[in-house]
Amino acid sequence: MNMLYCVELLPRVADLPPVVSERLWADAAAFFDTAPRNFERHALYLLEFEESAEPEKVRQAAQRAAESLLSDSVTQTYRGGPVEEYFSELGRENAAALIVAAYRPGVTDAEGESTRQGYAVLSEAGDEQNLPALVRVRTATLYRLDFEILPPAPTLNRFARRFLVNELVQDCITLLPKEGDERLAAFAQAQFNFGSKATGTVRTVALREAGNEELAQISKEGLLALNPEEMAAIQTYYQNEDRDPTDIELETLAQTWSEHCVHKTFKALIDYSEQNAEGETTTRLEIDGLFKTYIADPTYKLNKPWIVSAFVDNAGVIRLDPAWDVSFKVETHNHPSALEPFGGANTGLGGVIRDVMAVSAKPIAATDVFCFGDPATLPESIPADVLPPARVFQGVVDGVRDYGNKMGLPTVNGAILFDRGFLANPLVFCGTVGLAPHGSHPRNQAVGDRIVVIGGRTGRDGIHGATFSSIELGGDALETETAEATGGKAASVVQIGNPIEEKKTLDLLLKARDRRLYNAITDCGAGGLSSAVGEMGADLGVRMELSRVPLKYAGLDPWEIWVSEAQERMVLAISPDKLPEFMELCQVEGVEATDLGEFTGDGLLSLFYNDQPVGQLKMQFLHNGLPRRHLTATWQDRAPRPIKRRAHYEHHRPYQGYNVVLQRILADPNIASKEAVIRVYDHEVQGGTVIKPLVGPGHDGPGDAAIIQPLPGSTKGLVISNGINPRYSLLDPYHMAACAIDEAVRNAIAVGANLDRMALLDNFCWGNPNDPARLGELVRAALACRDFALAFGLPYISGKDSLNNEFRDPTTGERTAIPGTLLISALGVIDDFTKAVTMDLKAEGNLLYIAGRTRPELGASYYAKYHGQVEGEVPKVEAGSALRTFRAVTKAIRQGLVRSCHDLSEGGLAVAAAEMAFAGGLGLRYDLTRVPYIGPKSDRTNATLLFSETPSRFLLEVEPARRAEFEAAMAGSVVALVGTVLADDEYTVRGLTTATVLRVRSSELKRAWQTPLI
C-alpha cells in the first residue's frame, strides 16, 4: 500500500490567523444560534508516495515539498505527518469544532495535479534526485470554528453542506472537539480509494428486438437524451447490421446526435403559424431549418470578402489585415453551472478558449455575460435541488476569474443580469477572441495521419455532458426528452478545470503551428474523443486504440474513456514523418501527448481496447443517419397594455418624484455598477486593452464597448461589444432579438466602430423546443436575426444554442422556463483606435446632443419594472433610421468631432445622462422639450422622454467650437441639441410643463449606481 502523508499550512505569525471571508463569517453568524468566536480556514495537502519508499525518506520528501512548493516562506509555516498519526493528534488536541472538506474521490483536483508536477521537476533537480516518487496529491480544506456554546453535531454538518461544499463534487466530515480522529483518517484515506484495475469490459445492449417502451427506457437509463424516432433509426441500423450495439457505439451516437453537438432544433423542419390577439391565423410558414434560413443564408447573401471562416470551424474567423486573422467564439455552460457554479463556469471559459486554440489562434481577450436568479429571492421560495442565487453568482464569478487570470487572458467586456426566471437555470456565456497569422490554420487531415491527443488526462468528469445539456433539470422532461434528478448520474457531467494545463498546451500549440507540425486540430469538448475524433474522421474513417488513452486513474470502461469530457485536451492529425519532432516538442513543453491511432480512409469508426474490437460504426450513418425533426411552432400576438403611471410624478413636486425613480433604477442590480466583479478579473494582462470595462478619470464609469490592440505598434484595433435584454422577450421575442442586435451594434458604434467591418455572433438560450409556444418564440427571435442582419449588412460568423433551460420542481411538479434569451456579440475592426471615444463627460461648457427619435416604448423597461409591471409598448428597431444614425455617429467620431458618446439603453435617457455625468465627475443640464419624439401626443410625457428605452439612440458631447461641423456630419439623421455640460455635479432636467422635473447631484446618482449587487 502506498504511503500517505498530510501537510497543513499554518500562519507564520500567530496573531494573523487565516480567517475566512467576511461573507462566510456573516453566514455563520446568521446560521448558528451563537456566532463563532473564531472561524479559520487552513489548506491541507494529502500526499501519496510510492509503496517502496522508506518512512524517513517520505518525511524528508514531504518536508521538502512543503517548503519549496506548498508554503509561502514569508507568511506561512507548516506541520504534518503520516495521515493516521497527523489526524490522531489533531483529534486529541483540538478544542474547536472541525470541518474537513475535499473533492470526492475521482473528481479532478487541479491544484493537486500541479503540485505533483512541480514535485516531479523538483525531484529531478540537483541533489534532490533521490526523493521518493510522489504518485498523487489531493487537496483538502480544514475549517476551525471556536464557539462559546458548541452547536450540536447535526447543526454543524448542515452548515458545512449548505455553505462550505457542493455535494455534487465535494464531501466533508464534521467533528466536535476531542473526537473523531479515526473518522478523519478514514476520510483522508478515501481520497485515494477510487478506480480499480481496468477490465476493458464492453456491454452489448439488447436493442434489435426492443419495443417502443424498452427503447425509451434504454435512452432514459443511459442519459442518452434520444427521442423515439432517433432510437428507432438506431434500431433499424442494427437490424440491418444483424447485431446489437455495444455500449460504446450507443454512447457515440448519443453524443454525436445530441442537441448540443448537432443542433437538431435549429436544423428541424418547422411548421410555424402566427395568430393575432383575437386568435385568428395571420401567417403560416414552413421553415427549412432556423439556422440555414435565418442565420447562414443571410450571411452568405451578404458575401463579405473579409470573412475567412463562418460556421465551419470551432470559431468564426475574419481578416484583421492582409497578414493576420481574428477569431471569435462564445459558448454557454448553463446546466453544469446550475449544479456546480465554480466548476461549470471555470470549464465554460476553458472550453471556449480551446475553441479559439482549435483554429490555431492565440487567445487575446475574453468576454463573459451572466444571467442569475433574483438575489432578493427568499430562501423558502427556492425549490429543492436549486442553489441560492448569491451562491451561484459567487461561484460563477470565481470560476471565470480563476481560469481567465491563470491563462493570462484579459476579460474586457461583458454583462450581468438578474431575473427570477433564471433562478433554477442560470446562463453562463463565455467568449474568447484569438489572433493568428493568415493562412496558418490547416484543415487537411489525410489517410495515414496519426491521431494524437495532447494535454490533460481522461477521467470520469464530464461523462454525458453533451446529452445532459440537452435535458431540463429537476425532473422528467416534456414528452420526448429524458431527464434525471441532479443527483446520481448527473454528478458525472460536471467537469473540473485545470487552467495551468491548458496554458502549457497553448504554448505548445503555438510553436507547433508555426513549425507546421500538424495537418488539422480540434478540441475535446462536448462528447469528448467521440465527437472530436468522429468529426475529424467523418470523411475518412478512423482506427483507434483506447487502452493507450492516458487516464487520471484506473478503472474506466472503454465507453467512459471515449465520451469523457475531461478538460484541457486537444486532438491533432499529424503526418507520420512529423510525429517525432512533434513528440519531442511536447516533451520540452511538459505536455503529455499520445498516439492513439490513424485516419484510415475506409469510412468506418473502428474502436479497439487492448487490440480487441469494442465498437464499429459507419461514418455515413453516424453523421448523416439522424432523423430530421419535424416540429410545430405557434405564436400569438400579445396586445400591449398601457403602463400605469403614478399621477404625482407628473404634477405633485415632480422633480422629487423622478429623483427617487432615477436612483432606484440606477440601483437595480441589472444597471448598477459591476465594478466589484470587473476588478477580480485582470483586464489589462497582455498590455493591449485600449478601452477598458471601466472608464473616466476615476476609472469607474460603465464603458460601452472594449477596444483592444492586437498588434503592438499598430493603431488598428478590435472593438468588442454585446447586446442582451431578456425582459423584452416577455412581450415579443422578435423585438427582443432586434434590440439585442441594435444594442451590440450601437455599443460598438459609441466608441467609434465601423459598420462595414463588423461581424456578429448569436447565442440562443431557450426553454423546451417541444412546446409549440416556446418554439414559436424561438422562431420569432431567429426571424429578427435574419431581418436585421440584412438591414444592417452584418454577417454572423459563429453562434450556439442552448435549449431545454427549464426546471421541474421535483416536489411540486411545476415547470419553469427561462425568459427567451438571445446574446448578440459584435466584433469590429477599427483602423485607428486613437480616434476612439469613451462615454464619460470631458469638459464644462460642452454641448450635449441626442441622436435618434424617442418613441413611447416603456414596455418591459426599468421604469415599468419600478412600477412592478412589464406591460407597455416593447421597444422596436426601425432599421432605416437606425442605420442612418449609426453611420452619422461613426462619421462624426472619425472626424474627431465627438468628445464623448454613450448609447441609450436600459433606463433610457435619464440613466444614460446620469452615467455620463458621474463617470466624468461633472454635471449636466438638459431640456426634454428639445428631445426628438415620434408617437401619440398624449404619450409625450416627462416619464416617456426620460425613461423610454427606444433603441438606436445616442448622447454625444461636442465642443461649442465644433458645433457646425458636427451638425454637418450628422446631416441626414435625426439629432438635436438638448443640453450643456456643467462644472459641478448638478444633474438638472427641464420638463415639458414645468421649469424643472428632476434636480439631483450626480454624486448622489453615482452612490445609488454603486449599490452592491448582492
Active site amino acids:
260, 333
Beta bridge partners of 430: 331, 368
Q: HEC string of 709-735?
A: CCCCCCCCEEEEEEECCHHHHHCCHHH
CB 207 within 8 A of CB 238: yes
Distance CA 482, CA 254 (A): 12
CB 139 within 8 A of CB 112: yes
Degrees to nearest 5, angle at CA 58 with 53 and 62: 145
From its phi and psi, is residue 671 left (phi > 0), alpha (psi between -120 and 50) or beta? alpha
Distance CA 621, CA 623 (A): 6
Give the residue among 164, 675, 672 at the shortest CA–CA distance from 397: 675
Q: Which residues have CB under 8 Å from 391's CB, separation 6+?
A: 341
**Helix count (H) and strand count (E) of the chain?**
33, 39
Phi, psi at residue 372, to the nearest 5°?
-120, 165
Report DSSP state, residue 426.
Answer: -
Distance CA 91, CA 805 (A): 46
From its phi and psi, is residue 852 left (phi > 0), alpha (psi between -120 and 50) or beta? left
Give all strands of the β-sheet with 281-288 in edge-to-edge order.
Answer: 281-288, 269-275, 630-636
Phi, psi at residue 953, to the nearest 5°?
-120, 155
Q: Is 128 exposed, middle or buried (0-12, 13-18, 19+ CB in 10 A)?
A: middle
Q: How many CB atoms lie within 10 A of CB 896?
A: 12
Q: Is 322 exposed, middle or buried (0-12, 13-18, 19+ CB in 10 A)?
A: exposed
Q: In angstroms, how far is CA 729 from the centroid of its own chain? A: 21
Distance CA 409, CA 407 (A): 5
Distance CA 973, CA 980 (A): 21
* Cell numbers for 695: 472608464
Distance CA 59, CA 890 (A): 68
Q: Which helix (H) or strand (E) holds 174?
A: strand 170-175
Degrees to nearest 5, angle at CA 566 with 326 and 111: 95
Query: What is the DSSP code string of 304-356?
Result: -TTEEESSSSSSEEEEEETTEEEEEEEEE-HHHHHH-HHHHHHHHHHHHHHHH
- Report CA-CA distances (Å) from 501 to 47, 305, 432, 498, 895: 20, 37, 18, 6, 47
CB 644 within 8 A of CB 867: yes
Give the residue among 806, 621, 510 at the shortest CA–CA distance from 234: 621
- Report CA-CA distances (Å) from 184 to 49, 89, 144, 180: 19, 11, 14, 6
Provide the strand spans (E) within 74-166.
76-82, 97-103, 134-146
